């Protein structure tokens, strides 16, 4: 994204029209870059996008080298839509803080990507897939989760800073996953996700901890043939349209975002000269 900004001679033009052009370019180019990266690391040739395919279908085509079925394209399109925007989350706030300094949109998006990468934000979908692989089978769910919770560790894909019930996006993704699973030979982790969800419902009964958008996106992407280390990059591809929408609003009525901090550490400590330390 930073490289794209370096090539754009109008990156510091904050007019609404130019910002919309940048936003559209990012939405188009980020999937192309992710797909090209994946094919390059496999020693495969880059596949250019096709005019006859939708945005979602094009990505699957460029990534996997085969035209997706109508169902696969629709499921991925809905998954991208569900990830496109979710108000003032950490990565969106990061982008807005960067833009508020009058840095360009590309830099603001790069800032958002760095924030999204964390396992407590956009990296959670990859962590969910890794959790499923570690559990391995239905019989291992109870002992693995019990040990995890006894150590007071986090179960990735469970809980949300906003929702105190099941994330509505997770409900949609589970329904889509069932459609894909009926035609897929890779439904194992999707079924395991459901068993895991059921046991967590029993184990965490009475606590406001339910599946979030990452919980089923991992197994749905797996059934679509997408490598797990690309899940967060795909999240960024989808969320780019939400980020840029917020940024266009920020640039139109910009004020520097400069939060105050309240010190709550130790007080009245004696100063020790450097020579005596």
Which CATH entry fits the domain spanning 124-223: 2.60.40.420, 3.40.50.1820, 1.10.230.10, 1.10.150.120?
1.10.230.10
Distances (CA, A) of 124 to 47, 65, 131, 187, 212: 29, 27, 10, 20, 10
Instruction: Say whether 214 is catalytic.
Output: yes
Return the pLDDT at 161. Answer: 82
Tokens found for residue 175: 């329904």
Return the pLDDT at 165. Answer: 85
Which SS3 state, helix, strand or coil, does residue 158 take?
strand
User: Which one of the listed residues 83, 121, 167, 246 is annotated catalytic?
Assistant: 121
Range 70-79, long-range pairs (CB < 8 A, 24+ positions): 71/179, 71/180, 71/183, 72/180, 72/224, 75/176, 75/177, 75/179, 75/180, 75/220, 75/224, 76/224, 78/172, 78/176, 79/173, 79/176, 79/217, 79/220, 79/221, 79/238
User: Which one of the listed residues 160, 191, 229, 246 is annotated catalytic?
Assistant: 160
CATH fold group of domain 2-118+229-252: Citrate Synthase; domain 1 (1.10.580)
User: Which one of the listed residues 38, 104, 214, 246 is annotated catalytic?
Assistant: 214
Return the pLDDT at 160. Answer: 87
Return the pLDDT at 148. Answer: 95
Instruction: Say whether 121 is catalytic.
Output: yes
Ranges in the chain, pLDDT < 70? none
Domain boundaries in the chain?
2-118+229-252, 124-223
Return the pLDDT at 230. Answer: 97
Which SS3 state, helix, strand or coil, does residue 156 take?
coil
Return the pLDDT at 208. Answer: 86
Residue 18 CA to residue 27 CA, distance in Å, equals 14
pTM of the entire predicted model: 0.91
Return the pLDDT at 32. Answer: 97
Return the pLDDT at 149. Answer: 94
């Amino acid at each position: 994204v930073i490289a794209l900004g370096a090539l754009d001679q109008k990156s510091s033009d904050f007019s609404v029209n130019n910002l919309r052009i940048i936003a559209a370019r990012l939405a188009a180019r980020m999937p192309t870059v992710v797909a090209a990266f994946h094919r390059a690391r496999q020693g495969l040739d880059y596949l250019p996008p096709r005019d006859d395919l939708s945005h979602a279908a094009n990505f699957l085509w460029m990534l996997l080298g085969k035209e997706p079925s109508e169902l696969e394209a629709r499921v991925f399109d809905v998954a991208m839509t569900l990830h496109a925007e979710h108000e003032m989350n950490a990565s969106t706030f990061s982008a807005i803080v960067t833009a508020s300094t009058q840095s360009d949109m590309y830099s603001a998006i790069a800032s958002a990507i760095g924030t999204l990468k964390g396992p407590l934000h956009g990296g959670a979908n990859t962590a969910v897939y890794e959790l499923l692989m570690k559990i391995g089978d239905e019989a291992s769910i109870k002992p693995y989760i019990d040990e995890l919770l006894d150590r007071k560790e986090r179960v990735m894909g469970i809980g949300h800073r906003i929702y105190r019930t099941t994330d509505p996006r997770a409900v949609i993704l589970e329904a889509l996953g069932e459609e894909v699973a009926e035609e897929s030979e890779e439904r194992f982790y999707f079924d395991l996700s459901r068993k895991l969800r059921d046991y967590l419902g029993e184990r965490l009964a009475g606590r406001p901890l339910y599946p979030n958008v990452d919980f089923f996106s991992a197994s749905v992407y797996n059934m679509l043939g997408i490598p797990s280390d690309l899940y967060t990059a795909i999240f960024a591809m989808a969320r780019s349209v939400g980020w840029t929408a917020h940024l266009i609003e920020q640039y139109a009525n910009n004020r520097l975002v400069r939060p105050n901090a309240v010190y709550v550490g130790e007080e009245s400590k004696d100063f020790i000269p450097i020579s005596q330390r």
